[in-house]
Structure 1
Amino acid sequence: MSSTGRRADHRVTFAVLATGVIAFSLLQSLVTPVLPTLEAGLGTNQSDVTWVLTAYLLSASVFTPILGRLGDMTGKKRMFVVALAALALGCLLAALATDLTVMVVARVVQGIGGGVLPLAFGIIRDEFPRDRVAGAVGAISSLVAVGAGVGLVVAGPIVDAFSYHGLFWLPLVVLVVAALAAQFLVPESPERTAGSINWAAALLLSSWLVALLLAVSQAPSWGWGSAEVLGLLVAAVVLAVVWVLVESRAVQPLIDMRMMRVRAVWATNLVALLFGAAMYAAFAFLPQFLQTPSSAGYGFGSTVTESGLLMLPQTIASFVLGLVSGTLAQRIGSKVVLVIGTLVVAAGYLAFALAHDSQGAILAGSVVMGAGFGLAFAAMSNLIVAAVPPSQTGVASGMNANIRTIGGSIGAAVMASVVTAHAGAGGLPAESGYTNGFLMLTGALVAAALAALLIPAVRRDPATHAEPDVALRHPEAALVAGGTLVGDDPE
């Protein structure tokens, strides 16, 4: 319940959730285009400054599912406030940082806030009228892509005006306001999952995620065939197998393996892996392409600010189509929207791979990519939310977000290897590296669209056109004691 003892209007709740999610997604991308500035400001080198990204990634991968589970157990609103507070504290530390060590610690603290997204989905499911859930989830999902795009757009002007410290002072103000608003305006979730955190499972989950993400994030600099990378990959596989065995036998698992075996869940997670690989790789390398001096035979020599502005239409398209996605899902189904959105993004990537010699072509391709992002992001989140009971929403959507992040790490690392495979003029990557890289990402998106076809079709309510929860469609997926799922999706 809220502090007033009444349920808040769902539109107020949405505004608070949207503010928190935008701040979180901004912090994912703000530092990417200004790494050289951070390198100089923190007195470090090109290799070590990448830990500003890696530390955040590793921390978010560990805490996202844990906060999702804690939200299901103790209250989603409570953990949403905790996640925002962690983001705010991390911003404060980063804003004050003058050396790499403090900055990396700050980014680790910020990573705790990775639970913001699954907790927001859970709150929406608990608080919104049923016919508004799909639209709200779609809008919040689109804000992830929008926030990431806005981060790329505004990073340059913020650094020019306030130095790199401004990258964290401005989100800090937003986060403090969002945390206070969440505490006093958002009602506490009525749904609870009984039990406690399985800390052995949490440790194993953290261990294999850290091993995997550390390997793929450092592979471009350490070498894919290096002993360090191969050792970490082997460790990740072994630890992941042990984690699955422990979770499968646990009375109170951190992540219910029976839930993960539901076809609507695992198929959507497979799409998330492939989609994340393509999306985050593009966010990392499209600005780099635009900033390449034209003397290399390609690129436009754009500044950080100019490259961000060239990506602004993509951000706008993501937002607009994200708002439309919920309405489309009610009419034609989230699965169809996801397939269409993924193929639209693939078309944008293909256009960029084949035609990138003018800013007009870049803008056109970016708008197409952004439109697909908005459609697919929203539909993916809706499918996960609809596929599990309310008490599993946080952990299921947290794992989906996590798997998308893992895909992003793999995609960015592989893209880096492809782009830098051959040197061109002045030691810069050859143009063919970007062409081959975006063709590879196009293939990943086509594979994601094919994977989306594996998601079971959902019969919509003829009266409301809404997609019912899987627990309502299939009695065998109903909750049993302890909040676990029984059986699999038979479709």
Structure 2
Amino acid sequence: MQQSRTASTDAGLHTRWNVQLIGLVAVLVMVNFVVDSAIAAPLLVLPEMLDHFDTDQAAWLNATAMLAGVLWAPLLGKSADIYGKRTMLVLTLLLSCAGAIVCAVAPNIWVFVPGRMLQGASLAAVFLSVAIVRSVCAPRIAMIIVGIVTSGSAVLNIASRFLIEKLAMESGFQILFLVSAFVAAAMAICVHNVIPESPVKTPGKIDVSGALLLGGGLAGALSYLSLGSDLGWLAVGPLALLVGGVAALARWLLVSSRKPDPLIDVRDLGGPLALTLLIVFLGAGSYQSMLQLISLIGDVSADQQLGYGLADQGSVALLLAAPGFGVMLGGPGAGWLAARIGPASTLAGAVLLGTVATMGMFLGASQLPAALFFAFLLGVTVGALGTSGFNMAGSLAPAERQGIVSSLVMVMVAIGSVVLDFVGAAVLESTATVVDGDTTNSATGVFSYIAIASGAFAIAAVLAVMLMRSTRLSRNSPALDLARDAL
């Protein structure tokens, strides 16, 4: 009986490259370019946005989209399992388009931040693309294609870095968001016309209240980190946000544990999946926080004698383009390795590399060649980390739950990025110094920032080795094999 179910499930799946599959992959690669234009590209004009809105809240401008991704990802992931992956991917792209337009015309930060929250929906495009690949491809080739789809847009990202930098200097940072809106709208049309709707759908309903509790709780807790350093950690406003956020998260956990069909069923998370999600949380958060730091130190000259600075050694676009070259190698390479040695081993290798690369930024903070080299290694890391995380989580889920399980990976990416972005920003603000009447980041803050990211990667490396060993023990256990056969 088990063999017949497997055979019927695999029937019609792509097992090798063909024209139809190449077209599908090309569209999904472009879809993921939309994600970069919404999430990572604004880092290029972060100093200009800070000046335009007269604020020092870099984490809010940079991480708001990631924060919103915590709300959007499980909603769209669950909806994809119920209503279809293509339908939800088109909706995701349209939401991102609308958010980009709001950001482009925003007269102040209070309008800009909601626009960034709409753009945060674009994060769902990553895991929806992965879920689509796994629904149309056999597992072995799917692992490779996941790497291409999640990392292939890096080629476009590299070229766009230099173009956007030039356009922003001539027309203002708003041009970046107009370009993002145009690309999102164009790809929504392409997805509707090229990508087939997923044949496997799961009956169920959407837990909107759970998503609001989860997103609101995280927003409150993280707002405390952002505002506490300015207004005081014991001030009434920040404390109210912290208490409200913690209460909302506690309520979400309580309600979710009682619902028969919650947005995220924490009771159904096995040990390997929980480990995978925690590794992704730490690794992705560390990487994203380092991207924010690279943008900031790239705007400081070594002539200011702060103990760091790269502005007089090369452009910020060059520094942010270096990880793109690494992503091009890391994503497809991790997919190829996962098909041969397994996603758990590949994930462990990616995190170990990330630990080394992040620690290397102690030197890269003041030396451009070192910064470019370790930024490249960070790119290899994030390409391999994302691919291996999705492949690992996907291998632990049945076909009817690919959408929601893949969304959990994206939730961990979003939460990790937001947490470490805010923590890093708080460290920089609390250690800032005054030079010639202007407040700027101190060397103590910058190197403490790098130390925090390195420590998070080191913890993730330990967990990744544990995951690799546990999956090997599971594969080699006759008792577990009999249990799986019985199910």
- Partners of 1:421 and 1:210 lie apart in 2 by 21
Verify the 8 A CA contact 1:389 1:471 in the aligned structure 2.
no
Aligned match of 1:291: 299
1:402 counterpart = 2:411: yes
Say which SS state the counterpart of residue 471 (structure 2) adopts: coil
Alpha-carbon shift at residue 327 of structure 1 (Å): 0.9
The Cα shift of 1:342 comes to 0.9
1:271 and 1:452 in contact (8 A); partners too: yes
| Pair 1:220–1:322, CA change in 2 (3 A) | farther
The alignment partner of 1:338 has SS state of: helix
**Given the alignment of the two structures, is residue 361 of structure 1 paired with residue 370 of structure 2, yes or no?**
yes
Q: Which residue is 1:326 aligned to?
A: 335
**Aligned in 2, Cα 1:192/1:109: closer, same or farther, shift over 3 Å?**
same
Amino acid of the residue matched to residue 457 of structure 1?
A: T
Cα displacement string for residues 125-147 of structure 1 (whole angstroms, at most 9, x for unaligned residues): 11123321111222233358778
Residues paired across the two proteins, number: 462
Q: 1:113 aligns with which of 103, 106, 122?
A: 122
Cα distance in structure 1, aligned partners of 2:48 and 2:226 = 20
5+ long unaligned stretches in structure 1: 1-5, 462-469, 479-491
- Report the equivalent of 1:21: 32
For residue 225 of structure 1, report the CA deviation from its aligned partner: 4.4
Secondary structure of 2:390's aligned partner: helix
CA deviation after TM superposition for structure 1 residue 179, in Å: 0.7
Which residue in 1 is equivalent to 2:167?
158
User: Over residues 305-332 of structure 1, what are the superposed CA-to-partner deviations in whole Å (9 max), with x where a residue is unaligned?
Assistant: 8112133222101211211111111222
Q: Quick one: distance in 2 between partners of 1:414 and 1:29?
A: 18
- State the match for 1:269 in structure 2: 277
The amino acid of 2:39's aligned partner reads Q
Number of the residue aligned with 2:394: 385
The code of the aligned residue for 1:37 comes to E
* AA of the residue aligned to 2:471: A
2:427 corresponds in structure 1 to: 418
Aligned mates of 2:453, 2:460 — CA distance in 1: 10
Q: CA offset at residue 18 of structure 1?
A: 1.5
44-53 or 442-451, which deviates more: 44-53
DSSP 3-state at the match of 2:386: helix
The CA deviation at 1:188 is 0.3
Q: Which amino acid aligns with 1:440?
A: I
Match of 1:214 in 2: 223
Q: In the superposition, relative to structure 1, how do residues 274 and 150 fare at CA in structure 2: closer, same or farther (>3 Å)?
A: farther
Q: Sort the Cα spacing of 1:37 and 1:122 in 2 relative to 1 into closer, same or farther, 3 A.
A: same
Residue 201 to residue 304, structure 1, CA distance change in 2 (3 Å): farther
**Aligned with 2:42 (options 31, 50, 74):** 31
Is the deviation greater in 418-427 or in 12-21? 418-427
- Tell me if structure 2 keeps the 8 A contact 1:418–1:436: yes
CA displacement at 1:442 relative to structure 2: 1.1
Percent of aligned positions that are identical? 23
Equivalent residue for 1:448?
Answer: 460
Determine the C-alpha separation between the residues in 2 that align with 1:459 and 1:157: 53
Question: How much does 1:212 deviate?
Answer: 2.7
d(CA) in 2 for partners of 1:151 and 1:63?
26
Residues 106-145 of structure 1 mapped to structure 2, 5 A cutoff: 106-142=115-151
Contact 2:210 2:256 in 1 (8 A): yes
Please provide the CA RMSD for this pair: 3.1
The answer for unaligned runs of 5 or more in structure 2 is 1-12
1:9-30 deviation digits (Å, cap 9, x = unpaired): 2222221121111111221122
Query: How much does 1:92 deviate?
Result: 2.6
Taking a change above 3 Å as real, the CA distance of residues 208 and 84 of structure 1, as seen in their structure-2 partners, is same
Q: CA deviation at 1:149?
A: 7.2
- Aligned equivalents of 1:69 and 1:434: distance in 2? 39
| Whole-angstrom CA distance in 1 between matches of 2:188 and 2:473 | 38
Cα distance between partner residues in 2 of 1:388 and 1:334: 14
The answer to whether 1:434 aligns with 2:443 is no
Q: What is the alpha-carbon distance in structure 1 between the residues aligned to residue 484 and residue 299 of structure 2?
A: 52
Q: Deviation at 1:281?
A: 1.1
Separation of aligned partners in 2, 1:165 and 1:473: 57
Which residue is 2:286 aligned to?
Answer: 278
Displacement of 1:55 after TM fit?
4.1
Check conservation: 1:212, 1:232, Cα contact below 8 A: yes
Cα distance per residue 1:342-362 (max 9 Å; x no partner): 111111111221454321121
Q: Which residue pairs with 1:313 in the alignment?
A: 322
Paired AA for residue 435 in structure 1: F
Q: Residue 299 and residue 184 in structure 1: after superposition, are their counterparts in 2 closer, same or farther (change >3 A)? A: same
The CA distance in 2 between the partners of 1:303 and 1:472, in whole Å, is 63
Distance 1:404 1:228 in 2: 28
- Counterpart Cα distance in 1 of 2:157 and 2:39: 6
Name the CA shift for 1:9/1:98 in 2 (closer, same or farther; >3 Å).
same
- Give the corresponding residue for 1:203: 212
- Does 1:75 find its partner at 2:89? no
User: Which AA in structure 1 matches 2:273?
Assistant: V
Question: Which residue of structure 2 aligns with residue 489 of structure 1?
Answer: none
* Aligned 8 A contact 1:420 1:430 in 2: no
Q: How does the TM-score come out when normalised to structure 2?
A: 0.85
Where 1:31 maps in the other structure, the secondary structure is helix
Matches of 2:315 and 2:37, distance apart in 1: 18
d(CA) in 2 for partners of 1:28, 1:110: 8
